[in-house]
Amino acid sequence: MSICPSFALMIIFLIDSYWEINPNPKGVESMDKIKVSLDEEGFRDKPKDEAIGKISNRIGASIKEVSCINMKKFALVVGRGGYTFCPATFKNGKRSKDNFEQQQMFALDFDNKDPNRRVSLEEVKARAKKYDLPILFAYDTFSSTDHDKFRVVFLNDVSISHRRIVEAMQLALGTIFPEADKSCYTDSARMFFGGKGLIYYDDTIPTINVESIFRGLTYFLRDTTGNHYKEKLSRFSRETGIALNKNGLLDVTMTDDPTEALGASLSAQDGKISPSPIINIPFNIIEDGENFPKMFYRVNLNGSTNKSSVTPSVDRTDGVTKEYKNHGAYRSSVLSDMSRGCQLFGKFESGERDMSHDELFGLATNLKQVESGIQRFKEIQAEHPEFYDDERREKWERHLSYIRQQEYKPYSCASFCPYCKECNHGTNILSTVRPKPGMMERLPGYSEKFYSIEDVQDDTYKAISKAYHAEDTKIHIIKSQTGAGKSHSYLQLMSENPDHRFLVAASTNLLKNELYHKAIQMDIEVRKTPSLEEIKNEIPDKVKEHIERFHRSGQHQLVHPYIEEILKEKDIPCLRKYMKEREALKNFKGSVITTHRYLLSMDEERLKAFDAIIIDEDIIFKSIIPNQGEVPVARLEKLLAKTTDSRLSQKIKSLLRKAKVQSSIELDSLEWDDEDDKLYSFDLPSFCQAEQFYVRRSDKELNLKEDAIVYLKLPEFFKDIKYIMVSATVDEGICRQYFGWDRVDFYECKRAKYQGPLCQYPGRSMSRSSISSDPDIVHRLMNRFGMDEGRVITFLREKIGNLHFGNTEGSNTLEGQDILVVGTPYHADFLYKLAAFTMGLDFDEDEEVEPQVVTHNGYRFRFTTFHNEDLRHLQFWMIESELEQAVGRARLLRNPCKVHLFSNFPLSQAKMVDGFDYSKE
């Protein structure tokens, strides 16, 4: 009989308030919108034949979405309103096994017809609690008297779209609760009539899960059949197709790595269906709105049953259970690190508070990997009987045995630890407190947004054009990927504005010449500056040596007068051509392409003759920091004894006095105006002009023979001139620190995804010392990947190939080719400190680099670096700039080639390759 009118109004109100007033309810974020099939009509009595037929025909098309916040309303609609429901939903609106779509609720019907199999709700609840299968709600059936006939409903934490797994889960529940009606756990399309009263509801909305059901089944069979439980599991495996692991347990575990088993595939609910026997069911861990990495329930459905015959790793001689010694992947010494480095373990060990089941289970999976770790887990529980009485400790003995036999990997911190957002943790406790060399862990929630290459090109052009048209004297910095069309964009602007004069400064002569040829091809009226460096091999040795001495002594203004005098005495074609081109350039009114070095030597008046100054590549990294002055302390002492200039004498005295007690020294500058043409042994003018100095000490640097003073030869960036810098590796913080925070206008362009893979192998640091300890490593890698010398980029001292770290900019010789990049280009520690000091950053000058766990580019990894964040930022910027330039030679942004990078510094878009065997040819 249908429900009475007055009661129907109340039930209709409940339904309307949920499904109509709140059509898209937002409940607990970790489990939103649970789908069930719910009939549209409520009943006061059990439906009869005709009514049952109608319900059956329509319920498949009546899908409702229940949010956690409205879960109790659903329980009332079913349990008190008499509405029929089916835990599963179906495709095409037809209720049948073949049309199965998904299921997240599970129900059991206890009618207690068999007097030998009677069970009360309290007994069901107690058993459910014992096997970690909490009940969501229970209700009396229409024929119930004194709560003797009832149904219980469980809520799974994720929707399951694989019918085979759902049926196995139902059979597991039916095995644990054999008093239930058999049809409710053998038929995945089973309908459950509503009831006349809700007799139990858990407001915490507890959930079961794929792993807990089969773990509970294992415990139940062990409790009820003793040593024969694995025979029962083997039978269950044959009936359901769920495989057994080598210890004879059902091969169902939880993991954060869906690829840990070969052939693993995502379940159909993730949009991918695969014939692979390994099914990974993903679920998200969400806390306070923050997404952590997906976890997966891993179910092996290959159905093999011969694994149960594998000898288990426990010995029950004379009825005594004996566990073999745990040879963990970590030594027991790591336990002290866990005490200090893991907040959750510290609270567990001290007994500060009780731990939930999930917290303890997560701790146990980590401790399992440590020698004596499980023993320590038991000892801690024994030390705190206020939380762990005999019954609870006995239960955990069973859990620990199960964890061992299932060979659980350590659970990730995000999956169980309530403090995971409060500490700089790794994937799990072990990688947090004792990271291994070569570790490269992806940070939770890290992602990069990519655009099409067309969008990136357009964004780059617009950014450069905006800077070009800006009516200010700022330093405009545009960061855009290698191959994103930076040079094409500003050459296009030059072509579109033929009446304007552009000065383009490239980092090298190689890049200068390449830009010049591109501009000529675009019919741009342009010339390039001549370079003595490009003709140095044609200049007579004595003349070249004299020119080099002028440069070393900082008397650059004497070079061209000297060349003019030499050409009066004898004809040197290359120098005559150089001077002619230089003279012609003075009268040229078009655009000019030059180098960073030439740009930095130009005075303000010459620069103002141009409408736009464009700097290609990061001038700070490529031309300012490398332009160092260095003078041994002994040489300064000699100069002090000889000089008659009181200002210079005072500066040297102050410098030498301070150098005895400190390394970072700041002094006033002075202009060196000695008109004598005497050549000094070092760049005295730049020394006089410098204000920040750093002391290199021979007792701290292995290859330094005597103490020396180093400084940067800082150029001037005129305040009344606008500069535009375009680079793939430029850093906003560094630029603002160097040029001034208010003067910089920084724009980072959209990014595109590489067309080809960047495969990175972080197992070794591949620093210079690392390669020196294995001298043949680069050649072995060349053989391994079939690379000739021309496609290898590494350190200059390896003498391999034409390109090496430090001279890769501007080369397109490797575009579209597979290449090999080997090395982590560390610089000397003093250079980082000198650069930081020059930029006005604060740091402890005595700090030295040391191995530590850091984060960068979405990875957590172990790296030899500084604790000071500013020094570390400088170091990372310089290393990353070198690596990005080297990798960029293949032009992955536009070519489907492959780059193999051997370095322990992570680059953006790199695919990390673990377990690489470096010993193979």
CA–CA dist 59, 492 (Å, integer): 65
At residue 482, what are phi and psi to the nearest 5 degrees? -60, 130
Check if the beta carbon of residue 876 is closer than 8 Å to that of residue 907.
no
DSSP code for 3:
P
Is 533 inside a domain boundary?
yes
Are 203 and 349 in a shared domain?
A: no
Residues 797 and 882 in one domain: yes
Residue 733 lies in a domain: no
* pLDDT at residue 677, as a whole number: 54
Write out the residue range of the structural domain in which residue 16 sits: 5-208
Strand partners, 150: 110, 140
Q: Are residues 189 and 90 both part of a single domain?
A: yes
User: Do 172 and 271 belong together in one domain?
Assistant: no
Reported as a single tens digit per residue, the pLDDT across 239-289 is 999 999 999 999 999 887 665 543 444 444 443 434 457 788 887 654 444
- What rounded mean pLDDT belongs to the chain? 88
Per-residue DSSP letter, 624:
I
Identify the pLDDT of residue 516. 95
Is residue 28, in this structure, part of any structural domain at all?
yes
31 & 154 share domain: yes
For Cα atoms 573, 600, 558, give the angle at the middle one, nearest 5 degrees.
Answer: 45
H or E element that contains 254? strand 252-255
The total of other beta-carbon atoms located within 10 Å of residue 132's CB is 20
3-state SS class at 111: coil
Q: Examine the domain organization and report whether 47 and 97 are in the same domain.
A: yes
Question: What is the domain count for the chain?
Answer: 6
Pair (248, 388) in one structural domain: no
**CA atoms within 13 A of residue 13's CA, in its CB half-sphere:** 6
Residue found under tokens 């073999």 = 324
CA distances from 713 to 479, 559, 686, 790 (A): 25, 19, 6, 34
3 state DSSP class of 567 = helix
pTM greater than the 0.85 cutoff: no
* Alpha carbon distance 350, 373 (integer Å): 16
pLDDT of residue 437: 79
pLDDT at 919: 86
Classify residue 870: in a domain, yes or no: yes
Of the candidates 677, 694, 712, which is a domain's last residue? 712
| Domain shared by 142 and 240, yes or no | no
**b or e along 785-802 (b: 16 or more beta carbons within 10 Å of the residue's beta carbon)?**
eebeeebbbbbeebebbe
Is 493 inside a domain boundary? no
Give yes or no: residues 349 and 231 share one domain: no
List, for residues 709-719, the tens digit of each pLDDT value.
Answer: 999 999 999 99
> C-alpha distances in angstroms, 91 versus 40, 88, 125, 279, 281?
18, 10, 34, 21, 20
Same domain? For 292 and 361 the reply is no
Is the residue at 217 inside a domain? no
Q: What pLDDT is attached to residue 285?
A: 52
Q: 797 in a domain, yes or no?
A: yes
Which stretches in the chain have pLDDT values below 70? 1-32, 257-276, 284-294, 303-328, 674-679, 810
Residue 507 in any domain: the answer is no
What is the rounded distance in angstroms from the CA atom of residue 160 to the CA atom of residue 81?
27
Residue 662 and residue 542 share a domain: no
156, 177, 208 - which closes a domain? 208
Rounded alpha-carbon distances, angstroms, from residue 629 to 637, 710, 776, 908:
17, 6, 35, 34
What are 747's strand-pairing partners? Answer: 478
With beta carbons less than 8 A apart as the criterion, state whether 708 and 700 touch: no
What is the layout of strands, in order, in the sheet containing 252-255?
252-255, 295-300, 278-283, 264-266
Q: Are residue 770 and residue 893 in the same domain, yes or no?
A: yes
C-beta separation of 805 from 795 below 8 A: yes
Identify the domain boundary among 186, 208, 230: 208
Residue-level pLDDT at 325:
47
Adjacent-strand bridge partners of 264: 278
Q: 909 is written with which tokens?
A: 């878009």
Supply the pLDDT for residue 259: 58
